[in-house]
Amino acid sequence: MNKTKTRRAHREGTADQVFISRSPEETRAHGEAIGRLLTGGELIALEGPLGTGKTHLVQGLARGLGITDLPITSPTFVFVHEFRGRRPLAHVDLFRIERAEDLPELGILEYLDSPWVVAIEWADKAGQLLPAERLTVRLANQGETIRRIEIEASGPRYQTLLEALVKKK
């Protein structure tokens, strides 16, 4: 796993780190490293175009949470898959959401104020409905199998998590 420099504070209360993944398994390893640090109640917002590895990252996140219910697939048609491990994981996919205003009636926001780790693919579709404090993971294609993984920590809890992640890498 390759790491590039940490950039601090695009706005007050945030920090970010960029990693490069050279394969789906490396993307899973990044997710697993994050998952091992989670204690419950965290929001992991995943953003990026189709095919950038959002689900691979969630697979690793699940592995890091001790979840053995495999396979972990994108819940595109049911919106949420629930998994039990060291901490419970709600894997949410907003790809099919047309309007952010639809989220409350789907019950997805109820996970956010709970002990669940919530990983949301296509989180940018939720607009302002998601809490500002979160770990945002942006994935981008850099080649056929190479991915740029930018992790932005918003809020003290997530900044501490990002600092712990960087120390482990």
Distance CA 109, CA 150 (A): 24
Say what the pLDDT of residue 74 is.
80
- In 3D, which of 129, 137, 144, 140 has the Cα closest to residue 161? 137
What phi-psi label fits residue 90: left (phi over 0), alpha (psi between -120 and 50 degrees) or beta? Answer: beta
Rg (C-alpha) for the chain, rounded Å, is 15
Pairing mode of beta strands 134-141, 147-154: antiparallel
Tokens representing 100 are: 């952010």
Distance CA 89, CA 114 (A): 11
Question: How confident is the prediction along the chain (169 residues), in pLDDT tens digits per residue?
Answer: 444 444 444 556 777 999 999 999 999 999 999 999 999 999 999 999 999 999 999 999 999 999 987 788 887 677 899 999 999 999 999 998 888 888 888 888 889 989 999 999 999 999 888 999 999 999 999 989 999 999 999 999 999 999 999 987 6
Distance CA 29, CA 84 (A): 19
Q: Does domain 2-168 have CATH number 3.40.50.300?
A: yes
- In 3D, which of 151, 167, 147 has the Cα closest to residue 27? 147
Domain range list for the chain: 2-168
